[in-house]
Structure 1
């Protein structure tokens, strides 16, 4: 049996204020083509199908059309809900979908598989929707579920118990943060370093393959436990990271092979760094007009209207960050001492500008303006 493992579609998500719906539609069309070209039997979508619990109306057709297209290619589809999904909304659609498509959102269904046969017998697919301990702990009396680790351990114990009765090969699809993940690149945006509620890797023992979602970059925790990541880049921290899916083959005895299949990247990410003038005119930055751009300008002081000016050259400039190239050396002279040493108001203003602009005082044009203002004030005071 051949399985395609994908996750974290996040239909409806924006990228720095830009809609990603059209780009995601194109990538999902490519995914459907890969299912056809590789003769995939089952597609797993491991949670976070939508980006919010209340997606806009435009999001639903993309999901329905993609699921129908996958089924039209002869694939069975198993979808689980993630922390971004509304289990109720996603589950409501399941009754309206074709028989080839299973949407698993009910926590009480954990331990009850979708069984699909091949020439070697059944493969049991156990969907585990995202389980928030505070919401689901009342469902299983006498079981302490205070953490994600405890909750997932219980869910996987239910899977192992059912599998022991049924026998055969098995695949788990779940949405969680597993121990051993590199928490720096491509991490789900709600995850923060410190206090992470992680699921220990031994909790996933038993199934032939574990298809995980929640992390936006591909990661391999073991030969049989993997994250596929998101099909689009949703953060500049993912710059240069591949997008795609895991193609999983099961033989008569279990896991036979796993290989990665790249998806197209509609608009690559790039970080450009230099002074604002360089970013605006330097030829070395040619060729990035079709990229998502993060611009880091290194001028000593903030420049006026940098986003508008940069978007004239890079229409898809999504974010601008002021990162001065150097930090002013501390000469040990306090600002108050500089003010006391000033001989007139012009020097006081000069000292202030240098203090707040990393040592950069007034330009010639600014000095002329300052003199005009001070001279006008002097004339006005003399006329009183």
Structure 2
């Protein structure tokens, strides 16, 4: 039997408002490592978005490498780059921490031809079986602009290009394939059409337009997918394909989601057995919406919880946050604000064929985050002013820039 541990979308460095999530990351990464030690997989796969930004801090780099080194001591560990990851950082990490340094840790920084690192082979612990792994890191739509076989930059052109890449990987997987010994696996950071993202995941509509059809995925024993934070199976494929999901509730759109890693047991030529292992180390996120009196009655439910409070019986008041904090002293209060009128909500739900007023939408968002109306309007106006300058050939001067230019033109020199 071959055993695989699948994890994904750690997003190291993600914060929640002004609050760091380092404590939560440390707890859940230790939990994932403990599960790996207990289950003894033959291969560990991380399907992308190791970091939350393309320029992670030194603390997050250290956190990632230490955890991945611990995992690689248990089983070979492969990490494919997601859309939040920097291929350059992955290349550097591969040089410092990969197989060239004697560690079973593989960073897949960019798309590689199937015969040049696009397919990796790993013997299982007993040596009787092999896992042949096709790796497909995030492929930006721009990747296909200059491919002679693909014309245009439309979602259809992207889908065509992705089909070609996946066909190549499939062909390479079957070269030298031993049906009595080999288990075929795909690790990919892709948005599969029909998958259900968490409500507030940071995807634009444009991102969602560039999808991969379920039928285009290479037919393998198991597809370890990354990009979607809600753990789920992919419908419409004749084999097991899953998003492992994020290990923490990353934002309030993910509140209530049960996080997990995936354990996959496989034998050549047989359906795999997929088991989710629940992760519990991360603190929960909650949204309260109602009057202050109801919050007083339910305050005990929010101990140790990141809380967003939307108060329905109060007018905008600079002291509202303090009042809410006194009611739920043991919660981690991320924001507290009165419920805004329905007319403000409508700004974010305009019909697709209408032009969105970004200034108004931004103002509504700031108000929803607890900023006073006057400050939100001022901030949104400054945003609109900067946005308008994008279309100007000669942007208007900024006051601070003028002061700096004046100082440089009339520099003070020390007397000789």
Unpaired segments of 5 or more residues in structure 1? 328-384
The answer to whether the aligner puts 1:10 opposite 2:11 as a matched pair is yes
Shift of 1:155: 1.8
Cα distance 1:40–1:227, how it changes in 2: closer, same or farther (>3 A)?
same
Matches within 5 A, 1:228-307: 228-279=244-295, 282-299=296-313, 301-307=315-321
Instruction: List per-residue Cα deviations over 1:102-161 (Å, max 9, x = no partner).
Output: 1111212456311012344322111111101214543x4434473442332222111112
TM-score (norm 2): 0.72
**Secondary structure in 1 matching 2:165:** helix
Higher Rg of the two aligned structures:
1
Matched, 1:317 2:325: no
RMSD across aligned positions (CA): 2.4
How many pairs does the alignment contain? Answer: 323
**Partners of 2:208 and 2:53 in 1: how far apart?**
24
- Please give the secondary structure, in 1, of the residue aligned with 2:302: coil
2:173 to 163, 169, 184: 163
Q: Sort the Cα spacing of 1:192 and 1:122 in 2 relative to 1 into closer, same or farther, 3 A.
A: same
In the other structure, the counterpart of 1:122 is 130
Per-residue deviation, residues 186-229 of structure 1 (Å, max 9, x unmatched) = 56312449962221000114121111111111011145111011
Tell me: CA distance 1:145–1:69, structure 2 relative to 1, closer, same or farther (3 Å). Answer: farther
Q: Distance in 2 between matches of 1:221 and 1:106?
A: 24
| Mapped contact 1:133–1:145 kept (Cα < 8 A) | no
| Structure 2: stretches of 5+ with no match in the other structure | 344-416
Secondary structure at 2:209 match in 1: coil
Contact 1:145 1:151 in 2 (8 A): no
1:197 corresponds in structure 2 to 210
Q: Is the contact between residue 284 and residue 305 of structure 2 (CA under 8 Å) also seen in structure 1?
A: yes
CA contact (8 A) 1:47 1:214 kept: yes
1:44-193 equivalence runs, <5 A: 44-72=45-73, 74-99=74-99, 100-110=104-114, 112-118=118-124, 119-135=127-143, 137-138=145-146, 140-144=147-151, 146=153, 147=155, 148-167=158-177, 168-183=182-197, 185=198, 188-192=201-205
Query: Cα–Cα, structure 1 residues 68 and 145, in superposed 2: closer, same or farther, change >3 Å?
Result: farther
C-alpha contact 1:7 1:46 (8 A) present in aligned 2 = yes
CA distance, structure 2, for counterparts of residue 195 and residue 218 of structure 1:
18
TM-score calculated relative to the size of structure 1:
0.78
SS at match of 1:296: strand
SS in structure 2 of the partner of residue 152 of structure 1: helix
**TM-aligned CA distance change 1:195 to 1:75, over 3 Å:** closer
Structure 1 distance, partners of 2:95, 2:206, is: 39
